[in-house]
């Protein structure tokens, strides 16, 4: 049985993920919640540049329509 995109996001709950936005910004944090629009709530979030943290943000909400991809650190296996 193939997984739907929200099934993959649901399986990543309480795990660390990386999110790339359309404007090129990248965030890493623990996925604490999401909705049907793919809006994401990240805890202990930090902004990344070239894969390295540049600032800590804490708890953030990312609008789903800005997301290019969601991935665990190191990618999917």
Structure token digits, residue 20: 């790339």
Q: What is the pLDDT of residue 39?
A: 97
**Per-residue pLDDT tens digits for 11-57:** 899 999 999 999 999 999 999 999 999 999 999 999 999 989 999 99
**Structure-derived torsion over alpha carbons of residues 9, 54, 49, 62, reported in degrees to the nearest 10:** 30
Cβ atoms 23, 35 nearer than 8 A: no
Q: How confident is the model at residue 76 (pLDDT cuts 50, 70, 90)?
A: low
Q: What is the pLDDT of residue 75?
A: 63
Q: Which one of 3.55.30.10, 2.30.30.100, 2.160.10.10, 3.40.50.150 gives the CATH number of domain 5-71?
A: 2.30.30.100
Cβ atoms 26, 18 nearer than 8 A: yes
Structure token digits, residue 66: 């800005």
**In the chain, domain spans:** 5-71
pTM for this model (two decimals): 0.89
Q: In the chain, how long is the greatest CA-to-CA distance?
A: 40
């Amino acid at each position: 049985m193939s997984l739907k995109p929200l099934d993959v996001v649901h399986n990543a709950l309480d795990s660390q993920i990386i999110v790339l936005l359309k404007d090129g910004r990248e965030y890493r944090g623990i996925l604490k919640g999401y909705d049907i629009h793919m809006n994401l709530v990240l805890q202990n979030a930090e902004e990344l540049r070239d894969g390295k943290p540049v600032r800590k943000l804490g708890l953030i909400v990312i609008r789903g329509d800005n997301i290019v991809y969601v991935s665990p650190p190191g990618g999917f296996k």
